[in-house]
Amino acid sequence: MPSPPHEPKTVLITGCGGGIGLATAMAAHRRGHRVFATMRDLGRRPAALDTGVETLALDVTDPESVRDCVESVLKATDGRVDALVNNAGTASAGFFEDTSDAEFRRVLDTNFHGALNVTRAVLPAMRARRAGRVILVSSVIALNAQATLSAYAASKWALEGWAEALAIELAPFGIETALVQPGAYRTAIFDSAPTFTQPDSPYSELFASTEARFREAIGQSARDPQEAGARIAALVDSRRPPFRTRLGPDARIGHLVAQLPARTRHRLLRRLIGFPARANPER
């Protein structure tokens, strides 16, 4: 059975170099848990983690790195991981035709396959104890995919579908699965995202205007990631966490928009970023 609320737990979190991952690690530590915060490059370890949080290098796309990291955690905890927070993520911006297959694979490898890799490594220990919780950080974009974000949306949609099946498969072993869908938070994921467009692309003018509107909207609505971190850390302790938790008012609005008929929803999303229903004829 899961541990009672606020009993110290072992929590493994991916993608803690900043943003929501860092905020979750700090919030879980404040709740008294033993936190293993992981990131690809320990040379960029945030100073905030010097407060007792244990840090490990982890590249979620590298099977050897995943194996070494999880083995280190299990060795340090006598085989115990109470909660795994799959937060590591990346993004890119560009219209589908302008985005290479390699870039799609890069985004999917981190956001989707990375979560599979780490979860697969942790599950045997959870099954042995007949207890555990797998928390997956998805996105409101999974509900309402937007132009220029097709690779990111595809990765999060895949994550959601996998989580639905995973929840059913793991329940007999006492392992719970939970998704969180953040809206806009002040993180570096989109600021650092590579952009893809070609000078002679039929999408170049649309991309310039769409990206500007998108970044403006994010800047106006983005919230403090500490809020998201606190909510995710609370899910570690929740007796019966909901399967989906929406983080932020825009995520809750996004859920309502997702209930609209597809054509109505697409029309609304186009207007949100000033996207025309029909492009000008090619010159």
Residues acting as catalytic residues: 152
The values of phi and psi at residue 144, to 5°, are -135, 85
Concatenating the DSSP letter of every residue in 105-140 gives: HHHHIIIIIHHHHHHHHHHHHHHHHT-EEEEEE--G
Q: Give the contacts of 193 (CB within 8 A, at least 6 positions apart).
A: 90, 91, 92, 93
- The C-alpha atoms of residue 105 and residue 120 are separated, in whole angstroms, by 20
Residue with token string 């059975």? 1
User: Do the bridges between strand 10-13 and strand 175-182 make them parallel or antiparallel, or are there none, so unpaired?
Assistant: unpaired
Q: Give the contacts of 277 (CB within 8 A, at least 6 positions apart).
A: 267, 270
